[in-house]
Amino acid sequence: MESVDVLLDPVRVFLAQIGVFLPRLLLACVVLIGGWLLAKVIRFAIERGLRAMNFNVLTERAGMDGFLRQGGVETDTTRLIGLLVYWLVILAALVIAFNGLGLTYITELLGRVLLFVPHVVVALVILAFGSYFARFVGETVVTYCRNIDLKDAELLGALARYAIIVFVVLIALDQLAIGGDIIRESFLIILGGIVLAAALAFGLGGKDWAAEKLERWWPSVRRSEPLDRRDDLSP
């Protein structure tokens, strides 16, 4: 009899573990199904809300949608943000489900991904508004230069636009924690090298070219020679 009990003990333990695991598994399935439905609703609401605020118009004018199309992505920035939020909710449901099952290692891994997705969404929003602002500033510079009859208005507008875009990209990368101080220091080194090279070119071999450009941008006003002033020596 004792030998039979010894043989049945592992079976009893296994059945007890199954009895404890099955409710957790059922709860995890319910959480996943609920999270999937909630993710679809939130994605639909966010996309409709962004389009109601004309966010898709902003990203189209900023050039982000065209950039995605050139890269072979058959969606716009609004749908991309909705998709990221969709997977954010799915990941949250997975974390809750695996945590209920006691799978702590997978929960920690998904938790790191879950914390990274909001930074991606914020970076996309920064790029959208920053690119639109850069384009607005560039067009404003071009219009102002044309109004004051300044030459190379398109060149100055492009320089202003791309300078702002570079800073916006650096802010977005900092939001994603990509590169960190290395990218910022490299950018400052490259910027300093460009400024130094331009200064040397102007000071050494590009004096005539610089004078020509300055003359085109700010034409000097040639005045007639002043008349000789004669002192009135009469009493």
The 3-class SS string of the chain reads CHHHHHHHHHHHHHHHHHHHHHHHHHHHHHHHHHHHHHHHHHHHHHHHHHHHCCHHHHHHHHCHHHHHHHCCCCCCHHHHHHHHHHHHHHHHHHHHHHHHHCCHHHHHHHHHHHHHHHHHHHHHHHHHHHHHHHHHHHHHHHHHHHHCCCCCHHHHHHHHHHHHHHHHHHHHHHHHCCCCHHHHHHHHHHHHHHHHHHHHHHHHHCHHHHHHHHHHHCCCCCCCCCCCCCCCCCC
Is pLDDT larger for residue 125 or for residue 8?
125
Contacts 24+ apart (CB under 8 A), 139-142: none
pLDDT at 172 over 80: yes
Tell me which of 6-15, 30-39, 109-118 is least confident.
Answer: 6-15
pTM > 0.85: yes or no: no
Q: What is the pLDDT of residue 226?
A: 47
Mean pLDDT of the chain, nearest integer: 76
Is pLDDT larger for residue 103 or for residue 52?
52
Instruction: Give residue limits of the domains in the chain.
Output: 23-178, 182-216
Is pLDDT larger for residue 73 or for residue 198?
73
Angle at 135 between CA 62 and CA 181, to 5 degrees: 85
pLDDT at 64 over 60: yes
Most confident of 6-10, 82-86, 107-111, 141-145: 82-86
**Six-digit token string for 147:** 């109004």
Tell me which of 54-68, 111-125, 215-229 is least confident.
Answer: 215-229
Q: What is the pLDDT of residue 216?
A: 61
Is pLDDT larger for residue 2 or for residue 125?
125
Cβ–Cβ < 8 Å for 137, 161: yes
Most confident of 106-110, 140-144, 187-191: 140-144
Is pLDDT larger for residue 158 or for residue 217?
158
Q: What is the pLDDT of residue 146?
A: 80
Q: What is the pLDDT of residue 180?
A: 59
> Residues 56-61: what's their mean pLDDT?
85
